[in-house]
Amino acid sequence: MKKFILMLFVAFSLSELHAVVAKTGDEDQLKSLVDSFAVAIVKKDKQWIVSNLSETCKMYEPSGSTLDRAAIVYTFTEGIYDISKSAALNKAFRVDGADAGGSADFDVEGVGNINGNRVDIAGSYRFNLKFKKSNKGWMISEIIINER
């Protein structure tokens, strides 16, 4: 009986260890994804943005506008936002199977073409993000941007 209980304990411990390792690996991937997004919007890297946003990705801007994936790509690569510097800080994530959520503070420098005017958009913004895991890995499925 003691051996059976010991075997159950070992099996349970190994499964818990595997779950912790998997979660840590997912969180590392999400951190890397968010850091890469910060770089891609400075470089106007259309290929990266298209490849890492889900087909149904939505972005909610502080102005109240809601953008679909095509509009997000256009906004960051065609000069609506001309971001010269971007860094993702204070990243936090929670993983639940093939779904994840998280947040990061983005410190940006740049200008935006808003309502026909070039406006300084330098500042700190809170990005609340949702992610979906696909056969290609983690993808951004929602971005909510709030001014800090």
Write out the two tokens for 48: 């990266």
Query: What is the domain extent for residue 134?
Result: 2-147
Give Cβ neighbours of residue 58 (< 8 Å, ≥ 6 apart): 66, 67, 68, 69, 142, 143
Whole-number average pLDDT of the chain:
88
- For 67-85, what is the mean pLDDT? 95
pLDDT of residue 3: 56
pLDDT of residue 18: 39
Which helix or strand (DSSP H or E) is residue 30 part of?
Answer: helix 2-43
pLDDT of residue 22: 42
Domain of residue 55, CATH code: 3.10.450.50
Q: Whole-prediction pTM value? A: 0.82
What total number of domains does the chain contain?
1
CA distance 16 to 23: 11
Higher pLDDT among residues 66 and 1, named by residue = 66
Q: Which class for 108: exposed (0-12), middle (13-18), buried (19 or more C-beta within 10 A)? A: buried
